[in-house]
Amino acid sequence: MNKFSYIRATSVKDAVQRASTDENALFIAGGTNLVDRMKVFLDEPSQLIDISRLQMQRIEPIAGGGLRIGALVSNTAVADHPDVRRNYPMLSRAILSGASQQIRNVASVGGNLLQRTRCPYYYDTAFACNKREPGSGCPAATGINRMHALFGASDQCIAVHPSDMCVPLAALDAIVEVEGPKGKRQIPFTEFHRLPGNMPQQDSNLEPGELITAVVVPPVPFAKSGVYLKLRDRASYAFALISVAAAIDVAGDSIKDVRLAMGGVAHKPWRPTEAEKFLIGKPANAETFQQAAEIALQGAKPLTHNSFKVELAKRAIKRSLTVSAKGGGVA
Ligand code: SF4
């Protein structure tokens, strides 16, 4: 690690003011990804602004339904919250499928959104990496890339976003609340993370000095039957090769509404909106779900080692929709 100063912020305003006057400062809450990165010199902050004691640790109901989840609520507290388990089981299951109990106990909601890719070349400083050092190259493009992107990659970076929690939050059309030097604003979840383009070093659309204060999950009544399916190399403590968050609202014989998002396929949680549009009004059966899966993967651009993920994703979508249509549960 480099030498850095440590300060405990006394309020959100204090944290924002400190961050906006030092471009090399970083916020720290749980630190479960940041400290790992600092140990291998991926991040060398001038100061760490500890926000972990700020008042952003509550889960509150919002008018009209839905929940406002403070940015410092632990992943465990979100997953175990009775309203989350009852109304958004895909969110609870996604969180419980990630990391370990110990990590989930300290990892925060805001930090989960800001965790960085687990591309092995990014973490190994013996290799070049455009995300670590812009313009240096992307060894994953010609190297081992079985975990990498199917959608939205660029010639600069083919990494994927690693979060499980963010996949259902994208499906549920959550809103990210932030506060920065210019005041407060809200960012639709699907616009919070960005594709790599020619700036792979930037993962999100946060402005300098902005701090995530909460995530608002709107009411989605049929999300009670939502599912999260994660496919990975090991049964635990592994990142997704493919994951799917799906919730379907069936009225009579036809599909009234649907939410679908994929993880492990892009630099951000991936929402296959054409597949969602296709599903509306169709009969909720295996043929429809297969067609939706085909549509969802239409624009996929597999790499040297990850073409298997195309079929894996189709099967995961079909299975997730089938289980949700039957009322939900473990997919
Ligand atoms: Fe770096 Fe992105 Fe290439 Fe991985 S995929 S080596 S993170 S530039």
Beta strands 47-50; 5-8: pairing state: parallel
Q: What is the pLDDT of residue 310?
A: 98
Look at residues 245, 249, 252 and name the one whose alpha carbon lies nearest to residue 269.
245
d(CA 274, ligand 1 centre) in Å? 28
Best mutation site among 123, 129, 144 for ligand 1, i.e. most ligand atoms within 8 A of its Cβ? 129
Is residue 211 in contact with ligand 1, taking CB distance under 6 Å?
no
Look at residues 71, 92, 269 and name the one whose alpha carbon lies nearest to residue 167.
269
Is residue 140 in contact with ligand 1, taking CB distance under 6 Å?
yes
Is residue 117 in contact with ligand 1, taking CB distance under 6 Å?
yes
d(CA 146, ligand 1 centre) in Å? 13
Give the nearest ligand 1 atom to 127 CA: 6
Is residue 157 in contact with ligand 1, taking CB distance under 6 Å?
yes
Is residue 162 in contact with ligand 1, taking CB distance under 6 Å?
no
d(CA 260, ligand 1 centre) in Å? 27
d(CA 296, ligand 1 centre) in Å? 25
d(CA 131, ligand 1 centre) in Å? 6
Domains 1-53 and 225-325 share a fold: no
d(CA 159, ligand 1 centre) in Å? 5
- What are the residue ranges in the chain where pLDDT is below 50? none
Tokens of 310: 């195309």
* Record: fold of 225-325: Enolase-like; domain 1 (3.30.390)
Is residue 131 in contact with ligand 1, taking CB distance under 6 Å?
yes
d(CA 130, ligand 1 centre) in Å? 6
Residue closest via CA to ligand 1's atom 7 equals 122
- Put simply, whether the predicted model's pTM sits higher than 0.85 gets the answer yes
Q: What is the pLDDT of residue 331?
A: 86
Is residue 51 in contact with ligand 1, taking CB distance under 6 Å?
no
d(CA 310, ligand 1 centre) in Å? 21
* Record: fold of 1-53: 3.30.43
* Domains in the chain: boundaries: 1-53, 225-325
Is residue 266 in contact with ligand 1, taking CB distance under 6 Å?
no
Q: What is the pLDDT of residue 253?
A: 85
> What HEC string does the chain produce?
CCCCEEEECCCHHHHHHHHHCCCCEEEECCCCCHHHHHHCCCCCCCEEEECCCCCCCCEEECCCCCEEEECCCEHHHHHHCHHHHHHCHHHHHHHHCCCCHHHHHHCEHHHHHHCCCCCHHHHCCCCCCCCCCCCCCCHHHCCCCCCCCCCCCCCCCCCCCCCCCHHHHHHCCCEEEEEECCEEEEEEHHHCECCCCCCCCCCECCCCCCEEEEEEECCCHHHHHCEEEEECCCCCCCCCCEEEEEEEEEECCEEEEEEEEEECCCCCCECCHHHHHHHCCCECCHHHHHHHHHHHCCCCCCCCCCCHHHHHHHHHHHHHHHHHHCCCCCC
Best mutation site among 138, 239, 304 for ligand 1, i.e. most ligand atoms within 8 A of its Cβ? 138
Rounded distance between C-alpha atoms, residue 153 and residue 160, angstroms:
9
